[in-house]
Amino acid sequence: MPAEASAARDVGIVDALFQPLTVISTPGGPVLHMLRPHSPLLPDFSGGFGEIYFSEVLPGAVKAWKRHRRQTQLFAVPRGLLNIVLYDDRPASPTRGALCELALGRPEHYGLLRIPPGVWYGFTALGEEAALICNCADIPHDPAEAERRPPDDPGIPYGWKNA
């Protein structure tokens, strides 16, 4: 199997990284890499990983805002395209106040996005088709360690076009 498409890059928020991933063309349809043992985005899975799940994002829907106190998110979008926004308001972070907006998905922006604990995130589908996001988290979902805010929360300096 080939290695990842290229090295990870910083997205402007400490510990948040993006790494383009390999898409291998095959006669019956493409093979899409997501995560390999030597990925620089890989969190510490020494105690095992938490969970892997898929979430569908319908056109026009905004899923925002959410952050985890302990959980690291690893997002890939194998179908469709998402506009993902990150906001860092971690008190001790050197990038506190930074906002990052990026497209994630196929065909041009297939890759892996790592969202560290404490960073707010939200997303919306771009275009007319639903997008499918896959999340590999380092700990199992625990509603008590996550926080939510509405899409139009004034504490996050971003306005969703669909909200």
The SS3 assignment for 23 reads strand
pLDDT of residue 37: 77
Closest CA to 76 of 21, 146, 9, 31: 21
User: What fold, for 9-35+45-148?
Assistant: Jelly Rolls (2.60.120)
Q: Please tell me the distance from the alpha carbon of residue 115 to that of residue 41, in angstroms, as a whole number.
A: 10
Q: What pLDDT digit, counting tens, does each position of 57-69 carry?
A: 999 999 999 999 9
φ, ψ of residue 4 to 5 degrees: the values are -55, 160
Each domain of the chain, given as residue ranges in start order, spans 9-35+45-148
Q: CA separation (Å) from 58 to 26, 61, 129?
A: 28, 5, 7
Query: What is the side-by-side order of every strand in the sheet holding 81-88?
Result: 99-105, 81-88, 119-125, 62-68, 146-148
Q: What's the whole-number mean pLDDT along residues 71-84?
A: 96
Say if residue 162's pLDDT is above 80.
no
Identify the band that residue 7 occupies on the pLDDT scale cut at 50, 70 and 90: confident
Q: What's the whole-number mean pLDDT along residues 93-110?
A: 96
